[in-house]
Amino acid sequence: MFGEGIIQGLLETARNFFGSYVEKDRLTTVQYPEERFELPEASRNFPFLLYDGPDSDAGLRCVACQICEKECPPRCIHIEKSKDKKPDFVGKQQFYPAVFDIDVSVCMSCQICVEVCPFDAIRMDKVFELSTSDRFGGLLWDKQELSKSNDYYREIHPTEAAETDERRTKELAEAQAKAAAAAAAAAAKAAQAAANPPAATPGSAANGAGAPAKQEAANPETALPEAKVKQ
Amino acid sequence: MIAAVFNSVSADQIFVWIKHWLVVRTPSPLQTLVSILLTILPIIVIFPALFALSVLLERKGLGRMQNRYGPNRVGLFGILQPIADAVKSLTKEDIVPRAADHVVHYLAPLLLVGAVFLVYAVLPMGRNMVAVDLDAGVLFFFAVGAATELAIFMAGWSSRNKYSLLGAMRAIAQMISYEIPLILSSIAVVMIAGTLSTTIIVDRQAHYTGTLAHWNVFTPWGLAGFILFMISGMAETNRSPFDLPEGESEIIAGYFIEYSGFKFALFFLAEYLEMFSVSALAITLFLGGWSSPFSFLAWIPSWIWFFAKLVVFICFFIWVRGTLPRLRMDQLMNFAWKFMLPMSLIVIFSAGVWRFLPHAVAGSAPLGLVVRWLVCALLILVPYVALARALEQGRHIEKRTYRFAE
């Protein structure tokens, strides 16, 4: 009534003014380029392509199936499939992307490409300082710029990476076991064929047995991430 | 050489002496011109520099009051921020609306800055340091100061924008309403000093009883008048919490919504210069101008005292801006007419009583002072309490409950 509220207010701001010089806790500002918050593990911003081993070309997991390209809502991914094939991590012959471009300025960080990828080939990165002075070339990232090693993935998203690695080693083991079983069966068949020479030539029998076994080895690999997406 | 200069003239009169030294050495036909230029130039240089300083202080101070750092990128701790701000506002594009009245739109900021600079002519900034020693200095101040209202309405009208017109009308309503308590509260000083001359008003206050100066603020009517003067001065210069002519949330930027670039910078400059001039007048009328509060501090040069007081005022303006929210239009008007106006009339009455009460009671001067103090303080305090009570009557401020936002 007599203006004492104004005095109280003035005292409060004075307390804040001097307090901010004394108690550092009052200042909540993080002075960005010099200081920065550690990003939470689940943070994600922009996709990258994973590769195993030291060589980004040989170890690239992407098989150019183009699912991500088709699912991408803003259509920022551009893939051109290769003409030849190279073996993937279980040894199966696969295509690989001859061209894989992502437009940084179009990508909206929705992570749908990651969710639909059946090959664990694309993952979200934590980097966010993607600005560049080159509007056109600098914002269109090609395969070389997008490729990052699995070690890097383990570093930025340890939990996810461990889960993916575990699944992939299991798949590899299964594939190897199946291949071994198929090889054993083929050997047995070959032995049987050798026992009954008039039935068939040994070479064609081995081929016929080998192909379906390999296909089956690839099956769980495709089935698993799809099941995950449906959940 | 420099030591010799310091010995021959006191630091107090150094600027007066420099000006005299320069004028005497110019050819006699040019002496008047040089003298005028040497009076005007410091005012035109120093107060915009003070503007730059106070913008920096304001940004840093408000930041700290809100627990932020404030600008700290340009230069050490951001001290070069005003330069960056100036370069930015000077290089911005100057856009004039097609429908605007181009001549008036162009003239408004110039008139505003011109009127505000004119006011500094009568403000004594140190002993013998006043540009024009007018007999009616206080009257000149208010008369020229009122020209800023014209400039503001020119800006609001010529922009051809509903927000700028509303802002200008708000500004005019507010400035005219608050000009009355502003002038009435200074009338008490004029009555006691018996003059409208700013230099004589300061001279009257530059005497000492014991160690204490005869500042008007050390009397009950002076203290109350000073508070009223500062409140109306804040409203007069559109400073927060009376900055509703430019309320961003309702009318975006008020009368300078259609100004950009250098013209906007001129408005900004004029607003701060107005704030300094009102502060300077408050210092002149109530806080003894360039005089020191205690006789043992009188060795400090008079111009240092003046500018130190001015910087304290600027800091106080920033402090208030960081504290109080903007008023509503009806609150503003009620406050002006129902509280400020009666209180300033009461202060004038109290000053009159102070003047005519006997200086000594029963032959004792200290006792006489105590009696005068008590009588005049009661003359102000009792109506103040009664007025505050009466204005509070019939108003029930309840704690607001929110139905949906719990």
B65 in contact with A, Cβ within 8 Å: yes
| Chain B: closest CA distance from residue A58 (Å) | 47
B324 in contact with A, Cβ within 8 Å: yes
Give the pLDDT confidence of B250-298 residue by residue, as tens digits: 777 778 888 888 888 888 899 899 999 999 999 999 988 888 888 788 7
- By the 8 A CB rule, do A96 and A62 touch? yes
A227 in contact with B, Cβ within 8 Å: no
| Chain A: closest CA distance from residue B54 (Å) | 16
Confidence of residue A31 (pLDDT cuts 50, 70, 90): confident
**Terminal alpha carbon distance of chain A:** 63
Looking at residue B343, its pLDDT comes to 92
A27 in contact with B, Cβ within 8 Å: yes
Residues 372-391 of B with CB under 8 A from A: 384-385, 388-389
Give the pLDDT confidence of B109-148 residue by residue, as tens digits: 999 999 999 999 898 888 888 888 888 889 999 998 888 8
Q: CA dihedral defined by B267, B271, B274, B276, rounded to 10 degrees?
A: -130
Instruction: Give the one of B67, B320, B392 whose C-beta lies nearest to A27's C-beta.
Output: B67
Give the pLDDT confidence of B310-359 residue by residue, as tens digits: 999 999 999 999 898 888 888 888 888 988 999 999 999 998 888 888 77
| Chain B: closest CA distance from residue A43 (Å) | 26
Task: Say if the Cβ atoms of B65 and A13 lie within 8 Å.
Answer: yes
- Among all residues of chain A, which has the CA nearest to that of B64? A17
Give contacts of B68 with chain A, Cβ < 8 Å: 20, 27, 29
- Name the DSSP letter for residue A203: H
B70 in contact with A, Cβ within 8 Å: no
Q: What is the mean pLDDT of residues A124-153?
A: 86
Quote the percentage of chain B above a pLDDT of 70: 97
Residue ranges with strand state E in B178-330: 208-209, 212-213
How many residue pairs from chains A and B have C-beta atoms closer than 8 A?
43
Residues 29-68 of A with CB under 8 A from B: 29, 31
Task: Say if the Cβ atoms of A13 and B385 lie within 8 Å.
Answer: no
What tokens appear for B33 in the block?
């011109």
Strand B208-209 and strand A147-149: the pairing is unpaired
Task: Say if the Cβ atoms of A16 and B385 lie within 8 Å.
Answer: no
Best A20, A26, A30 member to test B by mutation, with max B CBs in 10 Å, is: A20
Give contacts of B65 with chain A, Cβ < 8 Å: 13, 16-17, 20
Any idea which residue has 């920033």 for tokens? Answer: B318
- By the 8 A CB rule, do B359 and B365 touch? yes
Best B59, B62, B64, B389 member to test A by mutation, with max A CBs in 10 Å, is: B64
Give the pLDDT confidence of B358-394 residue by residue, as tens digits: 777 767 778 878 888 888 888 888 888 888 888 888 7
Task: Say if the Cβ atoms of A19 and B65 lie within 8 Å.
Answer: no
Taking each helix axis from N to C terminus, what angle separates B220-236 and B365-392, rounded to the nearest 10 degrees?
40
Quote the percentage of chain A above a pLDDT of 70: 84
- Among all residues of chain B, which has the CA nearest to that of A33? B73
Q: What is the mean pLDDT of residues B163-191?
A: 89
- The yes-or-no verdict on residue A205 having pLDDT over 60 is no
| Chain B: closest CA distance from residue A9 (Å) | 6
Query: What mean pLDDT, rounded, does chain A reach?
Result: 80
Looking at residue B326, its pLDDT comes to 86
Give contacts of B389 with chain A, Cβ < 8 Å: 1
Task: Say if the Cβ atoms of B64 and A28 lie within 8 Å.
Answer: no
- The yes-or-no verdict on residue B237 having pLDDT over 80 is yes
Give the pLDDT confidence of B184-219 residue by residue, as tens digits: 999 999 988 888 998 888 888 888 877 888 888 888
Task: Say if the Cβ atoms of A31 and B66 lie within 8 Å.
Answer: no
Nearest to B155 by CA among B100, B235, B117: B100
Give the pLDDT confidence of B146-158 residue by residue, as tens digits: 888 888 889 888 8
Rounded Cα–Cα distance for residues B185 and B196 (Å): 14
Best A2, A13, A21 member to test B by mutation, with max B CBs in 10 Å, is: A13
Confidence of residue A228 (pLDDT cuts 50, 70, 90): very low
Instruction: Give the one of B67, B323, B384 whose C-beta lies nearest to A20's C-beta.
Output: B67
Angle at A168 between CA A163 and CA A169, to 5 degrees: 100
Confidence of residue B232 (pLDDT cuts 50, 70, 90): very high
Q: What is the mean pLDDT of residues A138-167?
A: 87
Rounded Cα–Cα distance for residues B240 and B247 (Å): 10
Looking at residue B310, its pLDDT comes to 92
Residues 86-105 of B with CB under 8 A from A: none
- By the 8 A CB rule, do A224 and A164 touch? no
Which amino acid type is present at position A88?
D
Confidence of residue A218 (pLDDT cuts 50, 70, 90): very low
A14 in contact with B, Cβ within 8 Å: yes
Three-class SS state of B125: coil
- The yes-or-no verdict on residue B223 having pLDDT over 60 is yes
**Number of helices (H), then strands (E), in chain A:** 7, 8
| Chain B: closest CA distance from residue A219 (Å) | 54
Q: What is the mean pLDDT of residues A10-30?
A: 85
- Among all residues of chain A, which has the CA nearest to that of B384? A2
| Chain B: closest CA distance from residue A170 (Å) | 52
| Chain A: closest CA distance from residue B205 (Å) | 29
Instruction: Give the one of A1, A6, A17 whose C-beta lies nearest to B324's C-beta.
Output: A6
- The yes-or-no verdict on residue B49 having pLDDT over 50 is yes
- The yes-or-no verdict on residue A226 having pLDDT over 80 is no
Nearest to B111 by CA among B146, B140, B64: B146
| Chain A: closest CA distance from residue B81 (Å) | 17
Query: What mean pLDDT, rounded, does chain B reach?
Result: 85
Q: Phi/psi zone of residue B356: left (φ > 0), alpha (ψ -120 to 50 degrees), beta?
A: alpha
- Name the DSSP letter for residue A53: S
